[in-house]
Amino acid sequence: MVGLLDRRLVFVTGKGGVGKTTVAAALALFASEHGRRTLLCEVDAKGDVASFLESGPTAFTAREVLPHLSVMSMDTEASLREYLRLNLRIPIVGRIGPLAKAFDFVATAAPGVREILTVGKLCYEVREKHYDLVVVDAPATGHIIGQLAAPQAINELVKVGLIRSQTDWMLEILSDPAQTAVAIVTTPEEMPVNETLELVGRVREETTVELGSVVVNRVLPELFGRTEEEVFDALCRDDAARELTRLAGDDPTPVLTAARLAVTLRRTNAGHLERLRSALDPAVPMLYLPFLFARYHGLRTIRQVALALGEEMGF
Amino acid sequence: MAPRRAPSKPVGRGSLDGLLASREIIVACGPGGVGKTTTAAAAAAMAAAHSGGKVLVLTIDPARRLANALGLEGIGNTERRVPDEAFALAGIKPRGELYAAMLDTKESWDALIRHHAPDDRTRDEILANPLYRNISQRFVQSHDYIAMERLFEIHSEGTYDLIVVDTPPTRNALDFLDAPERMAEFFSSRLLRWLIVPYRSRLVNFASKPFYQVADRILGTQFLADIAEFFILFQSMYDGFIERARAVQRLLADRRTSFIVVSTLETVPLREAEYFAQAITERKLHLGAIVLNKVLPDYLRDPEGAEVAERLLDRAEEIAGAIAPQLNDAEPAQVRRVLTEIGQNYMDYRIVAQSEAEKQAELSTAAETLVSVPYFETDVHDFAGLMRLGAGLWGE
């Protein structure tokens, strides 16, 4: 299977709260540091990309924030303007205010129009070869299908017209596994794994985009092997704990309880990971990222995640 | 092994007790992935168990095991009683009755159309319209709107003493608060009427208007006609719809309704939660409480614990040698590895726990009540687990 870095367009999605934006930013940062001219596009425009990369606010017009790394945030109205400017030579484009407002209504009434302007802009950047790689911090699980399937939806709803005539080349880019992939981010927990498996099925059935990777974020370290755990169990018995109190000079209960917590969490997670792995097509690469015992989430975190991601991708 | 020393109670650990006893509607909102649905269910279960009366939890998309725990598996839009046996399994005799319902967006929309349609023909035409089907199923805002609409409907039937409603994870934090107003605006807009004029009256030559020219070139005539047909049909329900949207809005602002914001103390969800809290307050809605889920236990911030962990790291070899004989004569090297691991583990979690405590202290001014629920090692998968979370919401 083609590696994520060798594609042209990668949609990063996942259930809310699993670290989707972190992974998208890390992937983009890693790609840019490996010489790819990279565009990172935030679709939800919550401003997380800006705060993670400590780059200042992002806008529709891409801006290079680090060498080879540009960031932008999606804005469907701006995308429409750009599209009209490029495709229609109509004088009204100059006085586009009322048109944009009307567009809002059309887009609200006809799902697919807003999505096609998002996907269209991304595919356009790919087609024009402005970047080697476009990484999309895509919408969460619930909305990504609508976006990836937008060109087909438009094909079904709109029989003629300019938008219709545009969907073919977009579909070509989206359906080409050498160019486009979706990466699903998850954590080894119950709900994220459930949603990931559901999404994997929907991506396969409802879109033409290939599943490029499943990224498992926040994997807890394994504290002990089996024999070490026996030692730990023995350490927790009253007589040993008393001796440990004497040797360490204080009550070790918090430390022992914390270790027990870590072991239990790791074990619960392992069950969900196993469920995920056994349900996935073995051909889909799984990338594992460690839980970071970090203070905050900024560029420092993104760098750490990028490093781990690079290792997992075989760099 | 349980901690032998009771962890000290942190400052400001509140309870949802009072809020759940005094309101008729609790709306749980917050970022995705923080246990919002489970929290809503646990709050409702606690209210039914302790305050009595008829309590309904209206959920959006519960995890399968939570649905199972509530007896909701395979159940659609209608409310079902959670059997007392579920409480009994958790060792509780409830004073009231707990009901649960799952929101089915499409079914709710269809019911709404049936309710408002002026006649059978319009009803059938709308239900069959491709744009309607698209809107009711895929259009994100329609989920937001229908959740609030359904809440209104159930509340106005007067069946329940308390309704706890889970909100859909929205793209934009404010969407569901604005959804009724946006719906009303949308259908009452002059622009919309303007858009459908040419299809109503063939007397207007719309091809001469620049807007239609552009719209036509972009979207195609057929598609514009589909849109117009949809809106013409929809306009027949316009008055009822607008009135309803306004009523929903009034209910949300009513003093019988309160909002709780659910979050974890992780950076990103927390930032979103703060945004929610601010938005609720700005709209003059009642922010009843902030509920913090998965808060790391207090013993991770114990200064003595840190000292022990540091000593284990610094003097691992010496301590391992001394204690090995008491551990079924384990290899000292192995004991040393274990001691180092558990020492490092404590220091790792301590950093996260300290950062969380700091954030929690900052939050304590944002809401009247701040409730923190401890981290549970396992997911909530049965009713007993739900009640354990519920106990946390009660500040127990």
Q: What is the pLDDT of residue A9?
A: 98
> Could B334 and A98 be called an inter-chain contact, meaning their C-beta atoms sit closer than 8 Å?
no
pLDDT tier at A210, thresholds 50, 70, 90: very high
Distance from CA of B303 to the nearest CA of A (A): 10
Q: What is the pLDDT of residue B77?
A: 74
The reply to whether B86 falls in a domain is yes
Chain B CB contacts of A109 under 8 Å are 131, 135, 227, 230-231
Helices (H), chain A: 20-33, 48-53, 76-87, 97-109, 113-127, 141-148, 150-157, 162-175, 190-206, 226-236, 238-248, 253-279, 299-312
Name the 3-class secondary structure at A283.
coil
The reply to whether B4 falls in a domain is no
Q: Is the pLDDT of residue A24 over 90?
A: yes
Q: Which amino acid is at B117?
A: A
Q: Which amino acid is at B284?
A: K
**Does residue B335 share a domain with residue B258?**
no
The reply to whether B170 falls in a domain is yes
CATH class in words for A4-221+282-312: alpha beta
| Residue that the structure tokens 């425009």 belong to | A45
Q: Is the pLDDT of residue B8 over 50?
A: no
The reply to whether B76 falls in a domain is yes
The reply to whether B369 falls in a domain is no
Q: Which amino acid is at A227?
A: T
**Does residue B386 share a domain with residue B344?**
no
**Does residue B320 share a domain with residue B225?**
no
Mean pLDDT, chain B, as a whole number? 82
Nearest to B226 by CA among A150, A158, A54, A149: A158
**Does residue B304 share a domain with residue B292?**
no
| pLDDT per position as a tens digit, B172-227 | 556 667 766 766 666 666 656 666 666 655 445 555 566 666 666 666 666 777 77
pLDDT tier at A228, thresholds 50, 70, 90: very high
> Could A191 and B63 be called an inter-chain contact, meaning their C-beta atoms sit closer than 8 Å?
yes
| pLDDT per position as a tens digit, B56-106 | 999 876 666 667 777 666 656 788 899 888 899 888 999 999 999 888 878
Mean pLDDT, chain A, as a whole number? 88
Query: Which of B64, B218, B267 has the CB atom closest to A296's CB atom?
Result: B267
**Does residue B328 share a domain with residue B233?**
no
DSSP states of A78-102: HHHHHHHHHH---GGGGG-HHHHHH
Quick one: tokens of A94?
A: 């100059």
Q: What is the pLDDT of residue A122?
A: 95
Nearest to B155 by CA among B23, B36, B47: B23
DSSP states of A206-228: H-S-EEEEEEEEEEPPP---HHH
Q: What is the pLDDT of residue B240?
A: 76
The reply to whether B363 falls in a domain is no
> Could A231 and B302 be called an inter-chain contact, meaning their C-beta atoms sit closer than 8 Å?
no
Mutation test of the interface with chain B: which of A162, A191, A244, choosing the one with the most B Cβ atoms within 10 A? A191
* Better pLDDT: B73 or B152: B152
| Residue that the structure tokens 């996942």 belong to | A14
> In DSSP terms, which residues pair with A192 in a beta bridge?
none
Query: Which of A16, A146, A194 has the CB atom closest to B63's CB atom?
Result: A194
* Domain range summary for chain A, segments of one domain joined by +: 4-221+282-312
Q: What is the CA radius of gyration of chain A?
A: 23
% of residues, chain B, pLDDT over 90: 35
* Better pLDDT: B18 or A91: B18
| pLDDT per position as a tens digit, A243-282 | 999 999 999 999 999 999 999 999 999 999 999 999 999 9
Interchain CB contact of B156 with A (< 8 Å)? no
| pLDDT per position as a tens digit, A106-122 | 665 565 677 888 999 99
The reply to whether B364 falls in a domain is no
Total structural domains in chain B?
2
Interchain CB contact of A54 with B (< 8 Å)? no
Interchain CB contact of A160 with B (< 8 Å)? yes
**Does residue B304 share a domain with residue B290?**
no
pLDDT tier at B2, thresholds 50, 70, 90: very low
Residue B308 belongs to domain spanning = 300-354
The reply to whether B124 falls in a domain is yes
Q: Give the pLDDT mean for B229-254.
A: 80
With contact defined as beta carbons under 8 Å apart, do A21 and A297 qualify?
no
**Does residue B196 share a domain with residue B291?**
yes
Inter-CA distances, A217 with A103, B198, B267, Å: 39, 54, 15
Q: What is the pLDDT of residue A56?
A: 86
ipTM comes to 0.87
Q: What is the pLDDT of residue A104?
A: 61
Beta-carbon pairs below 8 A across chains A and B: 241
Q: What is the pLDDT of residue B14?
A: 82
**Does residue B340 share a domain with residue B289?**
no
**Does residue B320 share a domain with residue B214?**
no
> Of the spans A79-83, B28-32, B136-140, B315-319, which averages the highest pLDDT?
B315-319
Give the CATH number for residue B227.
3.40.50.300
Helices (H), chain B: 17-22, 36-46, 64-69, 84-89, 105-116, 120-128, 130-138, 140-157, 175-188, 190-200, 210-219, 221-235, 238-253, 267-282, 303-314, 316-323, 332-363, 383-393
